[in-house]
Amino acid sequence: DFMHAFENDIKPAFGVSKDEFDSYIANGIIIWGSPVTEVLDEGNLRISQTIKSEMTPLVSILIEGPPNSGKTALAAHIALLSKFPYLKFCTAQTMLGYTEMSKCQQLKKIFEDAHKSTLSCVVVDELESFLEYAPVGPRYSNTVLQTLKLLFKRSPPKGRKLLIIATSAYRDILEQLGLAQSFSKIIHISNISTGEHVLHVLSEIEHSFSVEEMKHLKKSLANKQVWIGIKTLLDLIEVARQADDKYRVARFLASLEEVGGTV
């Protein structure tokens, strides 16, 4: 049964699971503009803070931004940058079908394991999924909320350091729930907002458009405003790639306009 499945699902939490982290960065990290650089700088600063600080053994950051803006990939990337001996990626996906209690127990276990390592980094992806937040009601698991609040403020034992990286697309809800306040720092990642950003991404994707096509796109996209997450942009490029050569550019620009506002 479910509970049985649950027990068999638990894997040893110690040790780095680099493969798992890589799977969340399936299409790499493209430095499409300064918003990306700023997030990575802040991430690096917090990593060294965790290592060197004396008075603050617990550093916790929240990466928040619109859907598809690359939050999960950035969180996984920063965690890998830390090279801490204990790395753990927590996602509600692996706890599907667990009772609230089981989720809390597993989260508690992960943080207790993290406290056993000198330097640990725990990613908690999509807080809203852990909270089982639904806007109609609204409904959420207060049990999970209380557990996360306590775990995010639990200092590691003397001599140990812990970096927590959480992600969410619902900053306002976390603030209403009093969970946003638990973080030392909240980092915002914005959508891609200029034609230049888009061109930067296009230039980094192999085989996407021909030199000729790129010329056309540069003209069309220069000084234009868009509003699109990196994950959605990669999807649009992918769709355009399947189209016939002659429709490719037009289709891409059309769908960019449909999804991402006026180009």
Ligand X SMILES: Nc1ncnc2c1ncn2[C@@H]1O[C@H](COP(=O)(O)OP(=O)(O)OP(=O)(O)O)[C@@H](O)[C@H]1O
Give the one entry of ligand X, Mg ion, a copy of itself, none that residue 177 binds, where binding means its C-beta sits below a cut-off of 5 to 8 angstroms depending on kind: a copy of itself
Instruction: Tell which one of 29, 38, 42, 129 touches a copy of itself (CB under 8 A).
Output: 129
- Inter-residue long-range contacts of 130-134, CB under 8 Å, 24+ positions, other chains counted: 130/90, 130/92, 130/95, 130/103, 131/177, 131/179, 132/100, 133/170, 133/173
Give the one entry of ligand X, Mg ion, a copy of itself, none that residue 237 binds, where binding means its C-beta sits below a cut-off of 5 to 8 angstroms depending on kind: a copy of itself
Query: Cα(155)–Cα(90) distance, rounded to whole angstroms?
Result: 19
Query: Cα(91)–Cα(96) distance, rounded to whole angstroms?
Result: 9
Instruction: Tell which one of 214, 231, 243, 263 touches ligand X (CB under 6 A).
Output: 231
Whichever of 165 and 221 has its CB closer to Mg ion, that residue is 165
Give the one entry of Mg ion, ligand X, a copy of itself, none that residue 135 binds, where binding means its C-beta sits below a cut-off of 5 to 8 angstroms depending on kind: a copy of itself
Q: Return the range that interacts with a copy of itself (CB under 8 A); candidates 34-42, 150-158, 160-168, 218-226.
A: 150-158
CA angle 59, 62, 67 (to 5 degrees): 160
**Number of neighbouring beta carbons within 10 Å of residue 122:** 25
Whichever of 50 and 168 has its CB closer to Mg ion, that residue is 168
Instruction: Tell which one of 23, 27, 44, 118 touches ligand X (CB under 6 A).
Output: 27
Minimum CB separation from a copy of itself for residue 36, in Å?
Answer: 18
Q: Is 72 in the site for Mg ion (CB under 5 A)?
A: yes
- Displacement of CA 4 from its chain's centroid (Å): 30
**Number of neighbouring beta carbons within 10 Å of residue 242:** 8
